[in-house]
Amino acid sequence: MGKSKVYFTDLRTKPGMGLTNKMIRLVKAAGIETLDFQGKFTAIKIHFGEPGNLAYIRPNYAAAMVDLLRSLGAKVFLTDCNTLYSGGRSNAVDHLATAMDNGFNPISAHADVIIADGLKGTDYKEVDLGGEYCPKPKIGAAIADADIIISMNHFKGHEQAGFGGALKNLGMGSASVGGKLELHCSSSPKIDLSACTGCGICAKYCRHGAISLFRCEDGLHRKARIDYAYCVGCGQCVAVCQHDGAVMGERSSARELNYKIAEYALAVVKDKPSFHINFIMNVSPNCDCWNHNDAAVVPDLGIAASFDPVALDCASADLVNAAPVLTSANRLSDLLLSAGGEQEREHHCSHGENLDKFHLIHPDTCWQAGVEHGEKIGLGKCEYELIKI
């Protein structure tokens, strides 16, 4: 089998060929029109931006993609799943408000927004994957029910995965709240009896009958209890508990997290057509889920597209690692300065040597584990041919 094809365009423009035009030209060259969209429910998986963070993909790009897909007959919608942490996207009400505020609405982005895992993150479907780490990934129902998946991904650093690109947006981003807990944890959740109020919501939402309530010795109060003979470690109890009574188990290692993300990404695209676009711009050191974004570590490079999300992420990482470091005050520049002084920083910034910028920023991460596992499980290939448009 040959290398996967990754198509790339820079961000240079001219009259009559703006950035949204270039994106459409890119995805057409990459073959998006070969997919049969007629009458198909088509999910554009995109991050709507955390309030206060301005590094997310502009809704103008989403609008141009929506227009293209609709012209091809698609029933298209924009989607994302709720977050594990509290904030502006932890439930569908706040999530929709955030999306609207950031321009992802029928007026600006030309399509409706559907929060894929419902009001509280409990609306999901298990995909029987038989994975090594995640046998049955819990995917937001609207994404699992879609006929075609289009991912539009802001490529940037990530403090746990190394970087966030197509695999991260597909795998972590499409996981329900309970699915995100499965991704992050290497052990089952537990009950903090000092915080548990005995409200019973965890027992109500446990799909496996693993949680029950017991009467305390004082005869007045009730507490929750997990029967680990039935617990599958999905973490749904943590997702719905409003009192920090159900808490996470031990966190997964950086490698295991990337293995799990790859398996979740495979579950999202399993048995359905998909296409993926990475926006290599505003390459901030950390995830878009923070309520702020630090200065970019490299110049804005361009947009890449492929049917293969593994190859796409590999190509994007190589492009970033080959790019010069911006000398503006960002975390990578500061690290170079602390490591070797001003001369060392200026050398790397001007020569653009192939530093693994993501590992340098987040030394405890290993992004290679994700793409290598993605290749192992048949999600895509690490070897690619870069075709410039």
Q: At 376, give phi and psi (nearest 5°).
A: -60, -40
Query: What one-character DSSP code corresponds to residue 273?
Result: -
CB 44 within 8 Å of CB 137: no
Label residue 39 exposed, middle or buried (CB < 10 Å: 0-12, 13-18, 19+).
Answer: exposed
- Alpha carbons 384 and 387: distance in angstroms, whole number: 9
Range of the domain at 151: 4-184+253-388
Q: Are 74 and 40 in contact (CB under 8 A)?
A: yes
Instruction: Please identify, among 205, 228, 247, the residue that sits at the C-terminal boundary of a domain.
Output: 247
258-300 pLDDT, tens digit per residue, is 999 999 999 999 999 999 999 999 999 988 888 888 889 999 9
Q: List the CATH number of the domain containing 219.
A: 3.30.70.20
Side-chain-facing half-sphere of 220: CA atoms under 13 Å = 1
* Helix (H), strand (E) at residue 372: helix 367-376
Task: Give every CB contact of residue 241 below 8 A, 6+ residues apart in sequence.
Answer: 201, 202
What is the predicted pLDDT for the residue at 328? 67
What pLDDT score does 292 carry? 86
Query: 247, 263, 294: which is the final residue of a domain?
Result: 247
Q: What is the pLDDT of residue 84?
A: 78
Question: Contact, 201 vs 242, CB < 8 A?
Answer: yes
Same domain, 270 and 126: yes
CA distance 314 to 304: 11
CA distance between the termini of the chain? 24
pTM, full prediction: 0.84
Q: How many domains does the chain have?
A: 2
pLDDT of residue 341: 47
243 and 262 together in one domain: no
Q: Does 203 lie in the same domain as 228?
A: yes
Q: What was the pLDDT predicted at 124?
A: 96
- On whether both 85 and 159 belong to a single domain, the answer is yes
Residues 202 and 62 in one domain: no
Please give the Cα distance from 148 to 68 (Å, whole number): 14
Cα 242 from Cα 318, distance rounded (Å): 42
Digits of tens for pLDDT over the chain (389 positions)? 689 999 999 999 999 999 999 999 999 999 999 999 999 999 999 999 999 989 999 999 999 999 999 999 999 999 999 987 777 898 999 999 999 999 999 999 999 999 999 998 999 999 999 999 999 999 999 999 999 999 999 999 998 899 999 999 999 999 998 898 888 877 678 899 999 999 999 999 887 799 999 999 888 899 999 998 888 666 778 767 888 898 877 766 889 999 999 999 999 999 999 999 999 999 999 888 888 888 899 999 999 999 999 999 999 999 999 998 887 656 666 766 565 445 444 544 444 456 899 988 888 899 999 999 999 999 999 999 999 99
Strand partners, 384: 4
CB 315 within 8 A of CB 385: no
Same domain, 21 and 149: yes
CATH label of the domain that carries residue 172: 3.40.50
For residues 66 and 195, membership in a common domain is answered with no
Buried b (16+ CB within 10 A) or exposed e, 123-133: bbbbbebebeb
pLDDT for res 17: 94
C-alpha 382/C-alpha 117 separation (Å) is 31
* Alpha-carbon distance values, 203 to 124, 199, 208 (Å): 17, 9, 9
Same domain assignment for residues 69 and 156: yes
264, 383: one domain: yes
97, 221: one domain: no
157 with 280, same domain? yes
Say if residue 299 is in the same domain as residue 324.
yes
Return the pLDDT at 28. Answer: 98
